[in-house]
Amino acid sequence: MTPQRLAVHAVTPQGARLGRGLAEDLGADLYLPSRLACQGEHPFESLPELIAVVFHRYEGHVFVTACAVAVRLVAPLLRGKGKDPAVVALDQAGRHVVSLLSGHLGGANALARRIAAFTGGTAVITTATDTEGLPALDLLAKEHGLAIENIEAIKTVNGALLSGSVIQIFDPENRLTIPAAHSHRFEWVAAPHLLEPDRPSVAVTWRQAALPEGCLKLRPRVVAAGVGCRKNVSGEEIIRAVRQALAIKRVAPRSLAALATIEAKRGEPGLALAARELDAPLFFFPAERLAGVAVPTPSSMALKHMGVESVCEAAAMLATGAGRPLLDKIKTKTVTVALAVS
């Protein structure tokens, strides 16, 4: 289930009034006790029971309650860094807006600042890099659309920044922009083997490469897999074929940006399953658009059965926008896969 944007929760009459304004400003769902809820709002009888059900359905939660209430509600539901939604708590007067959980990756710090601007209060941010005015690598990764492969390395690299260490960076395509005021804290290297094992480091690349243990791996989501398949093919077969294609070109799986195919395959459950398991959106293109793409290996069989000279190669290129072919189609008994990179 794809999380919805935001939910606002309040428990008192004054909190409900503030909650209504916040919900309207944020475009959020509003949850109130049944005695306070009006038409169009979401009533509840028990806030703990409600949060247990909806917590991971939303990208973020705003609690117009004491911080202690919010902490007790969400603590049993936490799954880990990078998996939990943003949580912000504020008093019912809106004076203090506290970022409690997922400040960087979940966006709670930014959400707290936005709410404070609305209420005229003060955003309370306690993440160390923010309080020291440093560029947190997890936040920079999010801002640049980079997937974090080894989230446990964030603590090490951000900790090194806080201690004054210089961070080595391998970023051959210049996909991570470091604020100029902090560039002296980073040292760029031209190849992955130049990253020193005993120093904190970051690699920004969609290619698999030998990297030091503890190196923070940031993966640009820039590779699309075009897929053609027989009717009723299993999701497992599609997944194996896609992973085989990625391995051939040494593409990091977290750099897979999309699966793509022809509109005629929209009803194939195996494609939907593969997209979920590979954590990639699934795009369907009409035959007319696929027919307009020049591909490396046009197919008379595809033209005969699907009405176009290419499904997987053309779909991969369309899914990357102005991308270029990376891997000509490969075939199994039931699946064809091609790769393109933006």
pLDDT tens for each residue of 14-50: 999 999 999 999 999 999 999 999 998 999 999 999 9
Average pLDDT over the chain reads: 92
Domain presence at residue 25: yes
Instruction: Check residue 308 and give its pLDDT.
Output: 78
Residue 152 has a CB neighbour count (10 Å cut-off) of: 12
**Shared-domain flag, residues 105 and 159:** no
Plot region of 216 (φ>0 → left; ψ -120 to 50 → alpha; else → beta): beta
Quote the number of domains for the chain.
Answer: 3
Domain presence at residue 134: no
List pLDDT tens digits, range 151-207. Answer: 999 999 999 999 999 999 999 999 999 989 899 999 999 999 999 999 999 999 999
Instruction: Check residue 1 and give its pLDDT.
Output: 44
Predicted confidence (pLDDT) at residue 127 exceeds the cutoff of 80: yes
C-alpha 261/C-alpha 152 separation (Å) is 35
**Shared-domain flag, residues 17 and 90:** yes
Instruction: Check residue 323 and give its pLDDT.
Output: 79
The whole domain housing 82 covers 4-126
Domain presence at residue 137: no
**Shared-domain flag, residues 214 and 290:** no
Instruction: Check residue 16 and give its pLDDT.
Output: 96
Predicted confidence (pLDDT) at residue 295 exceeds the cutoff of 80: yes
**Shared-domain flag, residues 265 and 316:** yes
**Shared-domain flag, residues 334 and 235:** yes
Instruction: Check residue 305 and give its pLDDT.
Output: 64
Confidence of residue 301 (pLDDT cuts 50, 70, 90): low
**Shared-domain flag, residues 326 and 238:** yes
Residue 159, domain CATH: 3.40.1390
**Shared-domain flag, residues 195 and 241:** no
Final residue of a structural domain among 181, 205, 220: 220
Instruction: Check residue 263 and give its pLDDT.
Output: 93
Confidence of residue 300 (pLDDT cuts 50, 70, 90): low
Predicted confidence (pLDDT) at residue 303 exceeds the cutoff of 80: no
Instruction: Check residue 132 and give its pLDDT.
Output: 83
φ/ψ of 273, rounded to 5, equals -65, -45
Whether the model pTM is above 0.75: yes
Final residue of a structural domain among 189, 204, 220: 220
Residue 300, domain CATH: 3.30.420.180
| 182-208: b (≥16 Cβ within 10 Å) or e | eeebbeebeebeebeeeebbbbbbbeb
| Joined tokens for residue 120 | 């005229």
Domain presence at residue 139: no
Instruction: Check residue 168 and give its pLDDT.
Output: 97
**Shared-domain flag, residues 182 and 154:** yes
**Shared-domain flag, residues 195 and 234:** no
**Shared-domain flag, residues 210 and 236:** no
Predicted confidence (pLDDT) at residue 306 exceeds the cutoff of 80: no
Domain presence at residue 12: yes
**Shared-domain flag, residues 77 and 157:** no
Predicted confidence (pLDDT) at residue 335 exceeds the cutoff of 80: yes
Domain presence at residue 138: no
Look at 309 and 19; give whichever has higher pLDDT: 19
Domain presence at residue 136: no
Final residue of a structural domain among 78, 93, 126: 126
Instruction: Check residue 304 and give its pLDDT.
Output: 59
**Shared-domain flag, residues 51 and 107:** yes
List pLDDT tens digits, range 56-114. Answer: 999 999 999 999 999 999 999 999 888 899 999 999 999 999 999 998 888 999 999 99
